[in-house]
Amino acid sequence: MIKEACVETFEEAVVAEKRGANRIELCSDLANDGLTPSVELLQKACAILKIPVMVMIRPRAGNFVYSEQEIAQMKLEIDEAKKAGAAGVVLGLLNQENQIDMHSTTILAEYAQPLPVTFHKAIDVMENPVEGAKRLNIIPGITRILTSGGKPTALEGQEILQKMIEVTRGKITILVAGKVLDSNIKEIQKLTGANEFHGRRIVGELDSRNEQ
């Protein structure tokens, strides 16, 4: 079982590692579902943490439909992740119809090489996340999909998550999110059959003040 802790500060990352997280997703502004972290935070986390650091590449809050200028910005952010020694990047692009933006996603996944790419919860905006997973299956470089099965929680999305695991088996790992806690992760694993999990409180509350 792989536990990926979602953090927005260096202190939270350190606590997550200490508590047994296997991997970090590093973001800023989690109040807006996570944006690209600062270069300073990125460099510090990658230099000091011993566990892999996945870096959010999301230049602004709001929808997941990006202009050419924003895609150029995302390339620069991927460059910074590479320079810092990140283990991979996390991104997600949709078109105006809330379908996978195949063209831009392919471009960025190729640009990110050799770093693996996680397609994030933008997929949960889709009417049919299972269809989205099938589409992502054919894009080289996409190694994970972060999803709650299109529902607010993994428990509510369990049936969709099972289907997503079926259609991506052997190619893409379904990284299960959606109120995954240290207290319910074993139940979610049993219900979905997934092996990788993501959450803000996946190893408990990340308050460094409690670690003194």
Distance in angstroms (rounded) separating the CA atoms of residues 19 and 37: 22
Domain boundaries of the chain, sorted by first residue:
2-211
133-143 tens-digit pLDDT: 999 999 999 99
Which residues on neighbouring strands pair with residue 28, listed in sequence order?
35
Choose between 169 and 20: higher pLDDT: 20
- Answer yes or no: are the C-beta atoms of 12 and 195 closer than 8 Å: no
Which residues have C-beta within 8 Å of that of residue 69, sequence separation ≥ 6? Answer: none
Can you tell me the mean pLDDT for 114-132? 97
Please state, in angstroms and rounded to a whole number, the distance separating the CA atoms of residues 53 and 32.
Answer: 20
Residue 209 pLDDT more than 60? no
Are 24 and 45 within 8 A, CB to CB?
yes
Question: Of all residues in the chain, what percent carry a pLDDT higher than 70?
Answer: 98
What CATH architecture does domain 2-211 belong to?
Answer: Alpha-Beta Barrel (3.20)
End-to-end CA distance of the chain: 28
pLDDT, tens digit, for every residue of 25-66?
Answer: 999 999 998 999 999 999 999 999 999 999 999 999 999 999
